[in-house]
Amino acid sequence: MNSTGRELSQADLIRNFILMCLESELQTRLYERYWRPMELAFGQEAYTTHFDGFMRHYLTVRTGEIPKMGEVYDAFKKHARSSSVANAGVESLLAELHAYAGHFCAMALGTEEDSELDRAFHDLRELKVDVAYPLLLELYHDYQSQILSREDFLKAVRTIESYVFRRAVCAIPTNSMNKMFANMGKTLKKDRYLERLEAAFLLLPSYRRFPKDDEFKRELKIKDLYNFRSRSYWLRRLENHGRKERVPVDEYTIEHILPQCDNDPEKVPTVWREELGDDWENVWETYRHTLGNLTLTGYNSEYANRSFAEKCNIEGGFAQSPLHLNKNLGAEGTWNKDAIEWRAAWLAAQAVSVWQAPALDAELLAAYKPSPTITSANYTIEDHPHLASGSMRDLFDAFRKQVLAPDPVVSEEFLKLYVAYKAETNFVDVVPQAKRLRLSLNMPFPDIDDPKGLCKDV
């Protein structure tokens, strides 16, 4: 407890661990030179809400392990007592903490002085990608140390933004990203820094992948982007891409060109039903919240549920709009399924330039691929007598077809005693037996859905 009776934070415990055992004069000097400036940089509110998180990210960078939030203090003590850190001395440790805290405040709290970098960090904050901070901290430190140029650092930040946003649009699970971001910096050599980083992103497999342009455009066109958690972010990025005179998107509201009508098809006006055609309800249900039907306006109340022609031609209508997002809308004669799909394709084509994927040619990328593991023997299906022929072969063929179908990165490997199916690691192994296929699933036993009680925990 502190003097006010409140439980000490992890940051308080770390400060006391570092300073309390020092001789008074040295304690005061180190506190005033390093720790107090960190407290001021964070500010009173952010210090209590962000400092523990910063310390967790710092420890992830320095140790390669991700401590739990409630165990940051214990992880820090272990780090501080390691031989390399202890031998360097307490002032060296505090100086490094102070430097990394400055990096974190620039990125996470908006204190960056470089305007382009500041905008890039602002965009990342809108995406709420705290898991990326260990990699970002390392990149920022190398930028400050002049190992990474400013231009390459900015491009690296934008690459991380594109990676996170593309994956969110493509609905790829995020549960692997914390370890990926924690480890990526540790595996990078610092020559050809940006090129190696881009190659590392492009070579990520399966559920860690960097979605390619075709996948990103396909999903972007059909996703419900109105109920997307970062809808103001993607609208602002699309509108302001390539602009020197930036549009303050927060002064506008989101407009459904085809009106949403309180999400009630009974409220869709007759004029819109006629414009959409016989299949109007299905078109309305399918497209109203998608990319092609969403834009920005300052005339939301004036538009209401008016017809498309009125929205185009009234005072301040789409035909007069200065926004890039509304380009060509005034020239459209009708607003129906075809028009929405055309606009979605047009915006999606722009989106791949806003959220760019790294561009490395195939030969260069191949040079960065890890060497394949060499095994002592190559086995085939013929080495498994229960699979080579007989009743188990048909069952196995049906099984492998389904297992290989979900993702092209799933591979099949015949080993001496079993057949392995893997994405990044084995997720199911098949042991062929005379009258059955015995499966070993790589998953927590409580997660098994097993109404017949066939499974056992091994």
Summarised one tens digit per residue, pLDDT across range 298-350 is: 988 888 889 999 999 888 889 889 999 998 887 778 999 999 999 999 999 99
Residues 375-391: what's their mean pLDDT?
Answer: 77
368 occurs within a structural domain: no
Return d(Cα 428, Cα 419) in angstroms, integer: 9
Residues 217-235: what's their mean pLDDT?
Answer: 93
8 A C-beta contact, residue 111 and residue 161 = no
Residue 392 lies in domain: 381-447
243 and 202, same domain (yes or no): no
Residues 38-64: what's their mean pLDDT?
Answer: 90
Tell whether the model's pLDDT for residue 386 goes beyond 90.
no
343 and 390, same domain (yes or no): no
The pLDDT, as a whole number, for residue 388 is 78
The pair of three-digit structure tokens given for residue 225, joined into one six-digit string: 């982007």
- Total structural domains in the chain? 3
168 and 27, same domain (yes or no): yes
Return d(Cα 232, Cα 249) in angstroms, integer: 8
229 and 180, same domain (yes or no): no
Return d(Cα 373, Cα 102) in angstroms, integer: 42
8 A C-beta contact, residue 348 and residue 217 = yes
The pLDDT, as a whole number, for residue 59 is 95
The pLDDT, as a whole number, for residue 295 is 94
Q: Could you tell me the pLDDT band of residue 6, with boundaries at 50, 70 and 90?
A: low
Note the pLDDT tens digit of each residue in 408-432.
Answer: 567 788 888 889 988 767 889 998 8
8 A C-beta contact, residue 120 and residue 126 = no
20 and 93, same domain (yes or no): yes
The pLDDT, as a whole number, for residue 1 is 45
Tell whether the model's pLDDT for residue 375 goes beyond 80.
no
Return d(Cα 121, Cα 115) in angstroms, integer: 10
5 occurs within a structural domain: no
8 A C-beta contact, residue 445 and residue 457 = yes
The pair of three-digit structure tokens given for residue 14, joined into one six-digit string: 């770390």
Tell whether the model's pLDDT for residue 373 goes beyond 80.
no
Which range among 179-193, 202-216, 230-244, 362-376 shows the weakest confidence by mean pLDDT? 362-376
The top-scoring range by mean pLDDT among 69-78, 172-181, 384-393 is 69-78
Residues 58-78: what's their mean pLDDT?
Answer: 92
Which range among 22-36, 141-155, 374-388 shows the weakest confidence by mean pLDDT? 374-388
Return d(Cα 118, Cα 114) in angstroms, integer: 6
The region that residue 171 occupies, defined by phi over 0 for left and psi between -120 and 50 for alpha, beta otherwise, is: left
The domain boundary residue, chosen from 177, 207, 237: 207
Amino acid at 36: R
361 occurs within a structural domain: no
110 occurs within a structural domain: yes
The domain boundary residue, chosen from 335, 354, 373: 354
- What lies within 8 Å, CB to CB, of 260 at 6+ separation is 226, 288, 289
The pLDDT, as a whole number, for residue 178 is 86
317 and 337, same domain (yes or no): yes
96 and 125, same domain (yes or no): yes
- What lies within 8 Å, CB to CB, of 35 at 6+ separation is 15, 18, 19, 94, 98
The pLDDT, as a whole number, for residue 11 is 84
Using CA of residue 155, residue 156, residue 161, residue 162, what is the dihedral sign?
positive
32 occurs within a structural domain: yes
The pLDDT, as a whole number, for residue 374 is 47
* Residue with more model confidence, 348 or 230: 348
Q: Is 129 exposed, middle or buried (0-12, 13-18, 19+ CB in 10 A)?
A: buried
34 and 177, same domain (yes or no): yes
Note the pLDDT tens digit of each residue in 128-149.
Answer: 989 999 999 999 999 999 999 9
Return d(Cα 41, Cα 102) in angstroms, integer: 7
8 A C-beta contact, residue 108 and residue 50 = yes
Amino acid at 370: P
pLDDT > 70 in the chain, percent = 96
The pLDDT, as a whole number, for residue 382 is 85
Q: Is 229 exposed, middle or buried (0-12, 13-18, 19+ CB in 10 A)?
A: exposed
Q: Could you tell me the pLDDT band of residue 407, with boundaries at 50, 70 and 90?
A: low
Return d(Cα 202, Cα 159) in angstroms, integer: 11
181 and 327, same domain (yes or no): no
